[in-house]
Structure formats: structure tokens, C-alpha cells
Amino acid sequence: MKKKRIFIGSSSEELGLAKAAKTILEKDFEVVIWNDSVWDSSVFKINNNFLTDLLRASLQFDFGILLGTQDDKVEYRGDVVLQPRDNVLFELGLFIGRLGISKCAFVVDKKLKILSDISGITLARFEKNDAPSFVEAISKVSELFKHQIDSDVNFFPSATLASGYFENLLLPTCKYIIDQDGFDYESVQYKNCIIKVIIPNRLNTDVNLQFAQLKRNYQTKTVSFQYAGRPRNINLDTEIKDGKLIFIDFPTTLSGINYAISNLLPNDFNLMSVDYEIIIEREIERFVYTLKKLALRNGVDTLLEIERI
């Protein structure tokens, strides 16, 4: 199983702590520190706009950890207090906005003044010169991330598209099969039925054309049926194999992923880049994961098969 990805942000003065956190986390996660210099994994690319890189990074990671350390002195209501570097707070807000509050953690020096606006997120405190307390704080966050329920079902475009696709096509079809104790096809009642969803390994620019080409590899006939509560008939391609009736569908709604991601990223981002492919692949994985979770929740998982090709 592919490891989830964690971004670690810190001030440049506290890179040592970021590296220590990476050492603790990399057993269970793929971890990238903000200043990693390896081109394939680096967040900030040469000659790129920093904000563009951050926006891209926020779509590439499953979780974000920001380290709040004693970087700046500020005057707060007449008192001089210590607070984290401004860019660390900015990155925290960005990742919370993109990933959701449950997928971000702020690991904070106990001596710091914490803004009341971020008191609702996961905070893990540590003593600056006490290594065991830092290990404990990072380990706490690690356990939190590892044991999140439905960690991939969120408001990314893929999860939203998968939910609509499931509710409007897959679930009604499953209910019809269950209600009818199978499916009548050419005067034969097939009790053994499944729905096969075909998902490409990568998305082309024109998803409709891509699926039209894939469909040529299948010898299918179209069937139509009416399900209660729907204003239109459901139309699906079918084939018979080994006495089993297989409904085959090519979810063209995946084209929405391309559209949504291209609009979430800055205009100057190269949509043909390796980074873009990584983001799209993650979104396809989220789409598949969401379908499987929704099928399980609704008790129709035995009727659904997802094939990546």
C-alpha cells in the first residue's frame, strides 16, 4: 500500500527540528521537508514563484505539519512575546484550507504565544531543548494521522465527483439488482451480476475521447431500465461472461478532475509537468477510494468492481 505523504514546514533556523521530525515519521509516511533539494521531491523549484509552489504542494500531500518555534519577537497588547515566523503561519493556513483541519497539525514550542484563531486545530506542544518531548509531540501527530477514519474522503474534486457518480448511477443500479433479484437480459434472469467501473491509469486532456477508445476493447450491448425516483432511465453497457452479467461503465465525470485541478492551480503552472501528473494520480486514487468507501457504507460493495487499466 502506498504511503501517505506529509509536508513539513518550519523556519530556516529550525531545519534541524524538521529533519528530526522526518526521521520519526518516515517509517510510516513519505515525508518531504520544505527545503528538500532533490528535484523530484522538492517543494520550491528553481526559478519558480514561491506561492505557486506552495499552492501546488498543498495538492500533492495528504497531511501537513508546521513547526512553530521561537523565531520572532512581537509586541502584543503592550507585551513583547515570541511567535512563529510569519511564513510558517501562512503555510499553516494554506494547508488547512486545502487539506482540511483534521489533516494539519501545528507542533509548537510551549513558550510561544498562539493566535486564538488557530486554537481549534491539532496542537502538539514540546520543550525546545528537551528532545524526548519533541519526539513525543511528533509521535502524537503521527498516531493521529495514521488512525484517521476516512482520511481520503474530503472535499477535493475527486471525492465530490465520486459521491455524485455513486449516488446517481452506481447506487440506483445496485438497488435495482437487489430489488429484482438479478437482472432480466434477453429473456434470461441473471442472478449473478456485478458493476465494473473502468478507471484509466492516467487521464488524457479529452477524457470523453479516451473512454470512447477504451470502449472499443469491450464487446457490449446497451441496456436500459427505470429505477424509482429517477426522472430518466439508466443506460449501461453490458456483457455476459461465464454466466455472469457484467454492467460496464466508463465514468466520464472524471473529466471534472482535470478541470477542477487546472482551476485550483495558478495560471502559470505547467499542466504537462510531472507535478501535475502526481496531483492527478492522487485525485484518481481518491476517486476510487471514495467509491469503495461509499459502496461499503451502503452494503453494495460485493456488487462493485473497479478496474484500473
Residue keyed to cell 433479484: 181
Residue 40 has pLDDT above 50, yes or no: no
To the nearest whole percent, how much of the chain has pLDDT over 90? 34
Question: What is the rounded average pLDDT of the residues 100-104?
Answer: 82
Q: Is the pLDDT of residue 93 over 70?
A: yes
Half-sphere exposure of 59 (CA within 13 A, CB side): 27
> Measuring CA to CA, which residue among 169, 216, 175, 166 is closest to residue 193?
175
Q: Sign of torsion, CA 291 292 295 300?
A: positive
29-38 average pLDDT score: 76
> What is the reported pTM?
0.62
| Residue that is written with C-alpha cell 478496474 in the block | 307
pLDDT digits (tens, 9 = 90+) for 65-84: 998 887 555 555 556 555 66
Model confidence at 210, pLDDT cuts 50, 70, 90, reads confident
Order the strands of the 63-68 sheet from edge to edge.
30-33, 5-9, 63-68, 104-109, 122-126
Q: Is 109 left (phi over 0), alpha (psi -120 to 50) or beta?
A: beta
Higher pLDDT, residue 146 or 121? 146
* Per-residue pLDDT tens digits for 140-178: 999 988 887 654 445 567 888 999 999 999 999 999 999
Domain borders along the chain are 5-146, 157-308
Question: pLDDT band for position 49 (50/70/90)?
Answer: low
Cα–Cα distance, 159 to 153 (Å, whole number): 6
Q: Is 5-146 CATH 3.40.50.450?
A: yes
Sign of CA dihedral 201, 206, 209, 211: positive
